[in-house]
Amino acid sequence: MFALHFAGFLAARLFKAVIVILAIAALNFVLIRLAPGDPASVLAGEAGATDPEFVTRLRSQFGLDQPVWKQLLIYLGQVIQFDFGYSYRNHVPVLSLIGERLPATLLLMLSSFIVSLALGVGFGALAAGVRFFNRARWLDTLIMSVALVFYATPLFWLSLMMVIVFSVQLDWLPAFGMESVGANFTGWARAVDIAWHLVLPTLALSFFFMSVYVRLTRAAMMEVMMQDHVRTAFAKGVKPWRVLRRHVLRNAMLPIVTFAGLQLGQVAGGAVLVETVFAWPGIGRLMFDALLQRDYQLLLGVFLVTSATVILFNLITDIAYRFVDPRIRVGGGAK
């Protein structure tokens, strides 16, 4: 019975996701067309040609001379066929460019998500434990103060300071890029080299979200600790660490899972800044370059893939909710 209801739930979510993605694609298209700048004029200027006829030919070649509504219909038809168009600035299909850069962005996003979640939940649980048992309360104060500092620190400033301290001054970690230039590593050596370059961008992107997890985990656990079933477990003589793990942290996971789904969407936006500072070859940097070059098709493709990624992460969060909280499963089955 649960499998049948879950299949219906998943089909409904996928249908809504497709509708939302098409609506986002249409909205992005209209907003970009309203932005100032003409890609044909930019290309003509780079070629050193100021002839109006040359600009007109470029506009006709890329379909920019058509009415906006017609361009929109053509674009949506291409999106349905998984054709994101052609980058007239890079002279390659948009999907190929995004496919080359997407793995680097996903690697950065997932690594920062895992680090921020693990550190945030761990330190948040530690702060809640020492506060509740009235032991080493200075540690709770220290953890919450450090979390507040990271929450209030601008991401770009933190990234630059990490480059200055750990790369320039201490020379511990590489500052820019994804791999060592000219090293030509292969196999395990290449994986280690990429991981070494990944440390600074991951930490820079993780610290803000880690601070939110710390505060959220501590607050959720402190609330659960006041409930009757936890007091009953302590009264029965259950070991404190077991109560915290099985009764407190498990019931405090719902708000954490909610924010985790939101974070995965926000990381995509934060990755643009981090990739620019650390010269990380992901789609965030690609989007920034496309914006400067007025490459409309590439910009639309990056926006669409980013939006689809966020929607996918939200879908995963909805699915995780049904497994984390049995009450949602029961409610779905009742319907």
- Which residue ranges form the domains of the chain, and what is each CATH number? 104-282 (1.10.3720.10)
Least confident of 49-53, 66-70, 169-173: 49-53
d(CA 328, CA 335): 11
Q: How confident is the model at residue 333 (pLDDT cuts 50, 70, 90)?
A: very low
Q: What is the pLDDT of residues 284-318, one digit of tens each?
A: 778 877 777 777 778 888 888 888 877 887 777 77
**For a pLDDT cut of 90, what percent of the chain falls above it?**
0
Q: How confident is the model at residue 334 (pLDDT cuts 50, 70, 90)?
A: very low
d(CA 244, CA 121): 12
Instruction: Determine the pLDDT at residue 269.
Output: 66
- pTM of the entire structure? 0.74
Least confident of 22-26, 111-115, 160-164, 228-232: 228-232
3-state secondary structure (DSSP) of residue 190 = helix
Q: How many CA atoms lie within 13 A of 284 on its CB side?
A: 22
